[in-house]
């Protein structure tokens, strides 16, 4: 077996401990840090995460490469992100980035460096069963990231290692201390989208969609029976389930229940109006099975922090129809629906508008 592994290193706790564990297990490891986005006027060499990764790889005495993927990232992930919002959808950029940028570009680098495997600091697990590579939840369910990885193909999973999948986060912090990197164990976790560090996607859209105010502009808030309730700032600035910032008073709480990009209208309704029992998804990727078993009952998660709901799935042409056993709130077009059989990811798809 080729024991050469390319380790994606961000300079943070998880990817650093990934490298330490693999080195201790006897793998011949090479570190790679990819740059997808930098703040304006920030230089790659001055970037904090690059410096951290260089410091760590130096301490571990392993080679380190930096890949500048900003142009590819802009043409794929950023374009998909802005295009989706203009279509009235709410995209998940991590889901889109993983197979194209992270696994796409990094596996190319792995080939160039004669590495058989790519290792990342994701909290998930992979096993081989029935000639398929199956993605499943991490031992630490609170940190599990399998939801974001459903678009990975068999050939990508085959070459992937997730060393952290069998550990709890507290153990990873303890391991960083054990290996002599106490400062890493105290590092705060990053929750934001990598290219929106302040978590303000609305400002990002304004700064990255030329003339967005002219392209979209103000539109009408309408009720579920079509009455005009007031004006909104433009449909890309709202998401399904949103309650705050609507500035519409009708005597009871209102939520965004539908976004019509074509008419630039946003429908507001009650919490009850957010409930649905079925949805269609497309852009399907199956992991556990090569064909979706007929009328299979699985647990479907409609967002990352969603605990999941039992549902029946069936193939309808190039789509999958999901009928939930119980009502689900705020199903959001553009987001991912990921199907689980116990802890295994069966597959996923992108939620469609009605």
CATH class of the structural domain 216-270? mainly beta
> Residue 1: pLDDT above 60?
no
CATH class of the structural domain 274-351? mainly beta
H helices, E strands: number in the chain: 11, 17
Rounded (10°) angle between helices 201-208 and 79-86: 100
CA distance 298 to 89: 25
Is 194 among the catalytic positions? yes
pLDDT tens-digit readout, 16-60: 999 999 999 999 999 999 999 886 777 887 788 899 999 999 999
Q: Which of 94, 115, 194, 267 is catalytic?
A: 194
**Residue 220 near residue 267 (C-beta atoms within 8 A):** no
Is 97 among the catalytic positions? yes
Instruction: Indicate if 274-351 has the same CATH topology as 216-270.
Output: no
- Give the CATH H-level superfamily of domain 4-185: HUPs (3.40.50.620)
Q: Which of 94, 97, 115, 267 is catalytic?
A: 97
> Residue 234: pLDDT above 90?
yes
> Residue 161: pLDDT above 80?
yes
In DSSP terms, which residues pair with 329 in a beta bridge? 275
- Name the residue ranges covered by the structural domains of the chain: 4-185, 216-270, 274-351
pLDDT tens-digit readout, 282-326: 999 999 999 999 889 999 999 998 899 999 999 999 999 999 999
Output the furthest CA–CA distance in the chain (Å, rounded). Answer: 68
CA distance 178 to 161: 22
**Residue 119 near residue 109 (C-beta atoms within 8 A):** no
């Amino acid at each position: 077996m080729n024991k050469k592994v390319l380790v994606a290193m961000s300079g943070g706790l998880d990817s650093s401990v990934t490298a330490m564990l693999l080195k201790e297990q006897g793998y011949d490891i090479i570190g790679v840090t990819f740059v997808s986005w930098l703040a304006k006027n920030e230089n790659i060499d001055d970037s904090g995460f690059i410096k951290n990764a260089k410091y760590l790889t130096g301490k571990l005495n392993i080679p380190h490469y930096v890949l500048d993927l900003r142009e590819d990232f802009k043409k794929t992930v950023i374009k998909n992100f802005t295009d989706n919002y203009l279509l009235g959808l709410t995209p998940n950029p991590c889901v889109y980035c993983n197979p194209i940028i992270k696994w796409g570009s990094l596996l190319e680098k792995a080939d160039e460096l004669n590495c058989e495997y790519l290792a990342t600091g994701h909290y998930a697990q992979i096993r081989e069963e029935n000639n398929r590579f199956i993605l499943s939840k991490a031992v630490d369910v609170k940190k599990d990231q399998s939801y974001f990885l459903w678009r990975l193909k068999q050939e990508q999973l085959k070459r992937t290692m997730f060393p952290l999948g069998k550990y709890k986060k507290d153990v990873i912090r303890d391991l960083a201390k054990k290996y002599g990197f106490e400062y890493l164990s105290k590092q705060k976790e990053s929750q934001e989208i990598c290219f929106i560090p302040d978590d303000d996607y609305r400002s990002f859209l304004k700064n990255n969609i030329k003339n967005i105010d002219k392209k979209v502009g103000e539109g009408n808030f309408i009720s579920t029976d079509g009455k005009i309730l007031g004006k909104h700032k433009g449909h890309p600035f709202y998401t399904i389930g949103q309650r705050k910032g609507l500035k519409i008073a009708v005597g009871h709480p209102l939520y965004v229940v539908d976004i019509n990009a074509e008419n630039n209208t946003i429908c507001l309704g009650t919490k009850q109006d957010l409930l649905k029992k079925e949805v269609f998804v497309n852009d399907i990727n199956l992991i556990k099975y090569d064909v979706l078993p007929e009328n299979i009952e699985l647990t479907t998660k409609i967002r990352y922090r969603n605990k999941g709901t039992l549902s029946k799935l069936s193939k309808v042409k190039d789509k999958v129809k999901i009928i939930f056993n119980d009502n689900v709130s705020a199903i959001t077009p553009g987001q991912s629906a990921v199907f689980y059989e116990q802890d295994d990811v069966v597959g996923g798809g992108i939620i469609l508008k009605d």
